[in-house]
C-alpha cells in the first residue's frame, strides 16, 4: 500500500482526493491536514465519506508526519508547497502539487502573475509538469510533480494535436472557456454565492488570467515556438465542469482532423475523441477523470473549432493528480479512476 498524505484536506480538491482514493486498491490516506479543523474526523465534515475513513481526522501540517508518507499531495493555495516541498523531498517523500507553485518553468514569470516572489526557484529545474498525455516518461522519474490547472488541461488537450502537427496558425489561437463555481475553491467569497452566480454567466480576467501563461507555455512546447493566445474564462451557474471552445485557423484544409485527433489520443486512457459532429457536454464527464473532445471545421472553412470538456475537480485537479501518482509508482494508470461519469 502506498502511504498518502494530503495537505489542505478541507477544500474541494482535498475532499475529491479522498473520494477517489477511497476506492484506490493500492493507496491509503494516512495523514490529512487542516489548520482550521484539526482534530475533526473527515467524515464529520464530509458525510459522503462515512464508512470509508472510520478513524481519519484532520491534523495540523507537520513535516515529520507527512515525511513518513510515500507521497504527499498539496491541495492548497499557491505559496504553501513552496514553503514545504524541499523539506518533504529531503525525507524521500514524493510531492504532487495541485497548486500553481511549480507549473511555470520561469520563476520571474511566476512572480509577475502571482504578485509575490517565487518561494522555491531551486526546485523548478526538477519539477515535472504533470500532463500525462505529454510528459508520461518524465512523470515516471519525477520527485516533484506540478499538476496542471483546470482550464490549462482542457485547453491544452484540445489544441495539442493541431499544434504538434504544425497545422495551426499559432499567431491567433483563442480559448473561450467556461467553468463551474467549484473552480474557485471552498473559501467563502461574494462572487461564489448562489444568488450571485446562479441564473447568470459572466466573463472575468479578460485582461489576463493566471492560467494564460501556463496554457501558453504548454502550447509553446507543443508548437516548438512562441504562440499568440487569447484566453477568456467565464463563470457559469454549475457546480462542476469546464467547457473549452477553442478556435484555430488551419494552414492546410486537406488534412483529416478527425483522424489526426483519434490517432494522437488512441492510446490515452483518459482522452475520448468523440465521433465527428459531436458536442460533448460537461455532464458527460462529471466525477470522471476524462477529457472528451470533438473537432469541427464549420462549412469546411479554415477555422477549426475544438470542443473540450472536463470535470475541473477530476481531470482538472484531483483525478489527474491520482493519475500522476499511478504513473509515478508504476501502478495501473487507471487504478481508482476507472468509474464512469455521473449522469444525469
Residue ranges in contact with ligand NAP by CB under 6 A = 7-14, 34-37, 61, 75-78, 80, 98-99, 149-150, 182-183, 185-187, 312-313, 316-317
Catalytic, 177? Answer no
Q: Distances in Å between the alpha carbon of 59 and those of 40, 206, 235?
A: 8, 39, 33
Nearer to ligand NAP, 170 or 318 (CB): 318
Asked if 81 contacts 74 with a C-beta cutoff of 8 angstroms, the reply is yes
Shortest Cβ distance from residue 60 to ligand NAP (Å)? 8
Nearer to ligand NAP, 12 or 261 (CB): 12
Shortest Cβ distance from residue 330 to ligand NAP (Å)? 25
Nearer to ligand NAP, 295 or 317 (CB): 317
Shortest Cβ distance from residue 312 to ligand NAP (Å)? 4
Nearer to ligand NAP, 146 or 331 (CB): 146
Distance CA 14, CA 57 (A): 13
Shortest Cβ distance from residue 306 to ligand NAP (Å)? 21
Shortest Cβ distance from residue 33 to ligand NAP (Å)? 6
Catalytic residue set: 150
Amino acid at each position: 500500500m502506498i502511504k498518502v498524505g494530503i495537505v489542505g484536506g478541507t477544500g474541494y480538491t482535498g475532499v475529491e482526493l479522498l473520494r477517489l482514493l477511497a476506492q484506490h486498491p493500492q493507496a491509503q490516506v494516512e495523514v490529512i491536514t487542516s489548520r482550521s479543523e484539526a482534530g475533526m474526523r473527515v467524515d464529520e465534515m464530509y458525510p459522503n465519506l462515512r464508512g470509508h475513513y472510520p478513524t481519519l481526522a484532520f491534523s495540523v501540517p507537520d513535516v515529520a508526519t507527512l515525511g513518513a508518507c510515500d507521497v504527499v499531495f498539496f491541495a492548497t493555495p499557491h505559496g504553501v508547497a513552496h514553503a514545504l516541498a524541499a523539506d518533504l523531498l529531503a525525507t524521500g517523500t514524493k510531492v504532487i502539487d495541485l497548486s500553481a507553485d511549480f507549473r511555470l518553468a520561469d520563476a520571474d514569470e511566476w512572480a509577475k502573475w502571482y504578485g509575490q516572489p517565487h518561494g522555491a526557484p531551486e526546485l523548478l529545474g526538477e519539477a515535472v509538469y504533470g500532463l500525462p498525455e505529454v510528459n508520461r516518461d518524465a512523470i515516471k522519474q519525477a520527485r516533484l510533480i506540478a499538476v496542471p490547472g483546470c482550464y490549462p488541461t482542457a485547453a491544452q488537450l484540445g489544441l495539442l494535436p493541431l499544434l504538434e502537427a504544425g497545422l495551426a496558425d499559432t499567431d491567433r489561437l483563442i480559448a473561450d472557456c467556461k467553468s463551474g463555481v467549484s473552480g474557485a475553491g471552498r473559501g467563502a467569497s461574494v462572487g461564489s454565492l448562489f444568488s450571485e452566480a446562479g441564473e447568470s454567466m459572466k466573463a472575468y480576467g479578460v485582461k489576463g488570467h493566471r492560467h494564460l501563461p501556463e496554457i501558453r507555455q504548454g502550447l509553446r512546447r507543443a508548437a516548438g515556438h512562441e504562440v499568440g493566445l487569447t484566453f477568456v474564462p467565464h463563470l457559469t451557474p454549475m457546480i462542476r465542469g469546464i467547457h473549452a471552445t477553442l478556435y484555430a485557423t488551419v494552414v492546410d484544409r486537406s488534412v483529416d482532423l478527425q483522424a489526426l485527433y483519434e490517432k494522437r489520443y488512441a492510446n490515452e486512457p483518459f482522452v475520448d475523441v468523440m465521433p465527428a459532429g459531436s458536442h460533448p457536454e460537461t455532464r458527460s464527464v462529471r466525477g470522471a477523470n476524462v477529457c472528451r473532445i470533438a473537432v469541427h471545421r464549420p462549412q469546411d472553412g479554415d477555422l477549426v473549432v475544438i470542443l473540450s470538456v472536463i470535470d475541473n475537480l477530476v481531470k482538472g485537479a484531483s483525478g489527474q493528480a491520482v493519475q500522476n501518482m499511478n504513473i509515478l509508482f508504476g501502478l495501473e494508470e487507471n487504478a481508482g479512476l476507472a468509474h464512469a461519469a455521473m449522469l444525469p
